């Protein structure tokens, strides 16, 4: 603002006084005390490296304190955040965690079948969750599982594997270690238990009659040993201890990763005689789906043969895990020893007792283990089969 004076002396006096006020910072501003000036100076010194204006810092501080209210201080909020956040160098995407998980399983000697199953499932998860694993919450996973067009059993398999993957990420430090993971709270679907399905001795005879080659060998092994399908794929002729009369399944072959001895019963000797070798894989199938297809095809052939003899006969269908369930049921009825059967099957005695007790009679068990191949009159079975010689001797 410009101010005019008629007297030059008065104008100079006014200018001098105004200059002194400007120098003291007292013109057009509130009065600042010495203490306030010192506070401002100290605040500017501390904010110097950051370069943030004082009014911005004061505004953010006031907003945070208002949001916290009486629940805590700003320092406590910062400490909580630092404790519960993942360091930038420890952030991992789902794909990266998956790759590390599979590499760890290979290094720990997990079976090829297990690793292949984990691979195709986790690739599907990683494809749909292309983000850091720490950013995924329980609701996200539940919504993803709900969109799967699979059976409840398969959905539960995905759920269990995702929980395993998140636990692995927590051990590696990619998720907070002092709390449960988001996958931990996934709701377990209600699985309806299905009744045990077994084959009758007549059905087994029809299946063996219809089968040829590898399918016949696989059916005989499943029916007279109860070995799981996945374990059959890992079975080698070196596992057969003919002198002791047992199949010695190693820790790397069984589902439970524990050694198991399965007896070589007389009907098994008779049915596998033409297939015995010195060494190598027992079955030529590489994947469970191939073995399942062989079983299904054999059942269809047996059903066709049945209908040719009796068009009104009931349909013969393949029963999933039917051979293993059948062996356990008939074997328990025959030996009447839950502990013995549980050791042969690799299951707990409680499961054997609850699932297979009183399913079949002893007469039915005798009929099951009495199924033998038709042998020509001039062929005799050897007492102690050896892979070094032929299983049959033509007289």
**What's the total number of domains in the chain?**
2
User: Could you tell me if 241 and 115 lie in one domain?
Assistant: no
User: Could you tell me if 313 and 222 lie in one domain?
Assistant: yes
User: Could you tell me if 161 and 214 lie in one domain?
Assistant: no
Q: What is the CATH number of the domain that holds 105?
A: 1.10.150.130
Which residues, including other chains, have CB under 8 Å from residue 392's CB and lie 6 or more apart?
A: 273, 274, 379, 380, 381, 382
Q: Tell me which residue of 291, 226, 237, 239 sits closest to 265, measured CA to CA.
A: 226
Q: Is the pLDDT at 158 greater than 90, yes or no?
A: yes
Residue 310 CA to residue 327 CA, distance in Å, equals 28
- For residue 218 the two structure tokens come to 């696989």
- Domain around 173: 90-185
pLDDT at 216: 95
pLDDT in tens, 336-378: 888 898 888 888 888 887 777 667 899 999 999 999 998 655 5
18 phi-psi bin (left φ>0, alpha ψ -120 to 50, beta other): alpha
Q: Which 3 state secondary structure label does DSSP give 89?
A: helix
User: Could you tell me if 102 and 226 lie in one domain?
Assistant: no
Q: Which of 185, 209, 229 represents a domain boundary (last residue)?
A: 185
Q: Tell me which residue of 268, 269, 261 sits closest to 340, measured CA to CA.
A: 261
User: Could you tell me if 160 and 215 lie in one domain?
Assistant: no
Q: Which of 154, 185, 216 represents a domain boundary (last residue)?
A: 185
User: Could you tell me if 207 and 348 lie in one domain?
Assistant: yes
Q: Are 226 and 265 in contact (CB under 8 A)?
A: no
Asked whether residue 170 is assigned to any structural domain, the reply reads: yes
Asked whether residue 160 is assigned to any structural domain, the reply reads: yes
Q: Which of 133, 158, 185 represents a domain boundary (last residue)?
A: 185
pLDDT in tens, 5-46: 999 999 999 999 888 877 776 666 566 788 888 888 888 888
User: Could you tell me if 330 and 207 lie in one domain?
Assistant: yes
User: Could you tell me if 260 and 136 lie in one domain?
Assistant: no
pLDDT at 102: 96
The stretch 116-120 carries a mean pLDDT of 91
296 phi-psi bin (left φ>0, alpha ψ -120 to 50, beta other): alpha
Please, is 248 exposed, middle or buried when counting C-beta atoms within 10 Å of its C-beta (0-12, 13-18, 19+)?
Answer: middle
User: Could you tell me if 158 and 293 lie in one domain?
Assistant: no
User: Could you tell me if 246 and 311 lie in one domain?
Assistant: yes
User: Could you tell me if 252 and 369 lie in one domain?
Assistant: yes
Asked whether residue 39 is assigned to any structural domain, the reply reads: no
Asked whether residue 212 is assigned to any structural domain, the reply reads: yes
Average pLDDT value for the chain: 86
Q: Is the pLDDT at 284 greater than 60, yes or no?
A: yes
User: Could you tell me if 208 and 261 lie in one domain?
Assistant: yes
- For residue 215 the two structure tokens come to 């399918």
């Amino acid at each position: 603002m410009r101010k005019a004076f008629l007297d030059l002396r008065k104008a100079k006096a006014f200018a001098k006084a105004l200059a002194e006020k400007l120098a003291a910072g007292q013109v057009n501003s509130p009065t600042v005390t010495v203490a306030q000036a010192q506070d401002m100076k100290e605040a500017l010194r501390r904010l110097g490296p950051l370069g943030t204006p004082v009014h911005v810092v004061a505004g953010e501080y006031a907003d945070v304190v208002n949001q916290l209210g009486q629940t805590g201080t700003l320092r406590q909020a910062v400490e909580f955040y630092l404790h519960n956040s993942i360091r930038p160098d420890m952030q991992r995407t789902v794909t990266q965690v998956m790759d590390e998980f599979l590499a760890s399983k290979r290094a720990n000697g997990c079976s090829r079948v297990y690793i292949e199953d984990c691979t195709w499932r986790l690739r599907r998860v990683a494809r749909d969750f292309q983000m850091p694993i720490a950013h995924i919450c329980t609701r996200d996973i539940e919504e993803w599982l709900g969109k799967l067009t699979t059976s409840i059993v398969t959905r539960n398999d995905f759920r269990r594997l995702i929980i395993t993957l998140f636990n692995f990420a927590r051990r590696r430090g990619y998720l907070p270690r002092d709390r449960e993971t988001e996958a931990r709270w996934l709701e377990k679907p209600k699985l309806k238990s299905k009744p045990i399905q077994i084959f009758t001795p007549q059905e087994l005879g029809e299946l063996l009659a219809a089968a040829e080659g590898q399918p016949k060998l696989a059916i005989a092994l499943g029916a007279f040993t109860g070995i799981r399908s996945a374990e059959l794929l890992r079975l080698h002729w070196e596992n057969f201890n003919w002198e002791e009369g047992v199949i010695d399944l190693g820790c790397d072959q069984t589902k439970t990763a524990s050694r198991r001895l399965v007896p070589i019963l007389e009907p098994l000797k008779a049915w596998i005689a033409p297939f015995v070798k010195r060494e190598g894989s027992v079955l030529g199938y590489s994947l469970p789906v191939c073995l399942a297809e062989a079983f299904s095809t054999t059942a269809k052939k047996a059903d066709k043969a049945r209908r040719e003899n009796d068009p009104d006969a009931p349909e013969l269908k393949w029963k999933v895990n039917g051979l293993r369930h059948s062996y356990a049921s008939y074997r328990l009825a025959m030996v009447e020893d839950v502990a013995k059967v549980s050791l042969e099957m690799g299951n707990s005695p409680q499961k054997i007792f609850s699932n297979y007790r009183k399913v079949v009679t002893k007469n039915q068990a005798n009929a099951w283990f009495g199924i033998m191949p038709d042998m020509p009159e001039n062929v005799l079975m050897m007492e102690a089969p050896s892979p070094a010689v032929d299983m049959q001797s033509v007289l």
